């Protein structure tokens, strides 16, 4: 059982980085949750990630799941509060000062420079997950079909996620 202070510290640190968007954190979350602390197996991490897509704030819900696994109900509560706390505080500060910050050139240039890096981090997260979860023909077909649907149609991501789950049940 992990101490609640250690759990809080880990999720506060993740929460600070979470401000940039959760998907870029998938490799970090995998490292912390699976490789470093052994709170989840690789399969549990991937299952938790898939299930979290059905909820608002998907990766934050993965934190709740992992916190629960590491420290029961209280661990889940601590992980959830701590992953959201830095974002909430930062958004309150930014919202209050947005009218002054929006026209500062260095901030705009910084954000323009961050965008390509974020795209690269999302691609790295996709590669990391794909290399560990694409084991057979069925998975590659689902990947190709999902990519095609998102690229050439306006189908809802929820339809694709639920559909893939149904196909997975029917195929096994």
| Tens digits of residue pLDDT in 85-127 | 988 888 888 888 877 877 888 888 887 887 788 778 778 777 8
Is residue 116 domain-resident? no
One domain, residues 71 and 155: no
CA 4 distance to own-chain centroid: 22
Contacts of 17 (CB under 8 A, 6+ apart): 25, 28
Within-domain flag for 126: no
- Which pLDDT does position 77 carry in this prediction? 94
Predicted pLDDT at 1: 57
Indicate the range of 80-84, 129-133, 167-171 predicted with least confidence.
129-133
Q: Do 88 and 160 reside in the same domain of the chain?
A: no
Whether residue 77 lies inside any domain: the answer is yes
100 and 15 together in one domain: yes
Q: Are residues 97 and 139 in the same domain?
A: no
Q: Burial, 43: exposed, middle or buried (Cβ in 10 Å; 0-12, 13-18, 19+)?
A: exposed
What gap in Å lies between CA 110 and CA 123, rounded to an integer?
A: 21
Same domain for 95 and 139? no
Res 161 pLDDT > 90: no
Of residues 2 and 169, more confidence is placed in: 169
**Do 145 and 91 belong to one domain?**
no
> Which spans in the chain are helix H?
4-18, 26-30, 42-52, 58-101, 105-133, 137-152, 157-171
* 88 and 149 fall within a common domain: no
Model pLDDT for residues 32-46, shown as the tens digit of each residue: 888 898 988 888 888
Task: State the pTM of this model.
Answer: 0.58
Does one domain contain both 96 and 36? yes
Last residue of one domain, picked from the residues 90, 105, 120: 105
Average pLDDT over residues 73-83: 93
Structural domain containing residue 143: 134-172
What is the predicted pLDDT for the residue at 81? 93
* Angle CA 160–58–158, to nearest 5: 20
Q: Domain for residue 154, yes or no?
A: yes
Question: How many structural domains compose the chain?
Answer: 2
159: in domain: yes
Considering the domain architecture, whether residues 14 and 98 belong to the same structural domain is answered as: yes
Instruction: Answer for the pair 69, 79: CB distance below 8 angstroms, yes or no.
Output: no
124 part of a folded domain: no
Does 123 reside within a domain?
A: no
Based on the fold, state whether residues 97 and 145 are members of the same structural domain: no
């Amino acid at each position: 059982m992990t101490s609640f202070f250690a759990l809080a510290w880990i999720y506060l640190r993740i929460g600070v980085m979470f401000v940039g968007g959760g998907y870029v954190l998938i490799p970090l979350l995998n490292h912390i949750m699976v490789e470093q602390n052994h709170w989840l197996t690789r399969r549990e991490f991937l299952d938790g990630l898939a299930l979290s897509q059905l909820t608002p704030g998907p990766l934050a819900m993965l934190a709740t799941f992992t916190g629960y696994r590491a420290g029961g109900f209280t661990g889940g509560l601590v992980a959830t509060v701590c992953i959201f706390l830095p974002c909430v505080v930062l958004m309150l500060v930014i919202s209050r000062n947005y009218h002054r910050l929006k026209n500062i050139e260095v901030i705009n240039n910084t954000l323009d420079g961050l965008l390509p890096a974020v795209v690269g981090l999302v691609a790295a997260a996709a590669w990391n997950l794909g290399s560990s979860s694409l084991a057979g023909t069925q998975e590659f077909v689902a990947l190709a079909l999902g990519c095609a649907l998102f690229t050439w149609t306006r189908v809802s991501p929820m339809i694709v996620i639920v559909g893939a789950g149904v196909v997975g049940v029917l195929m096994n």
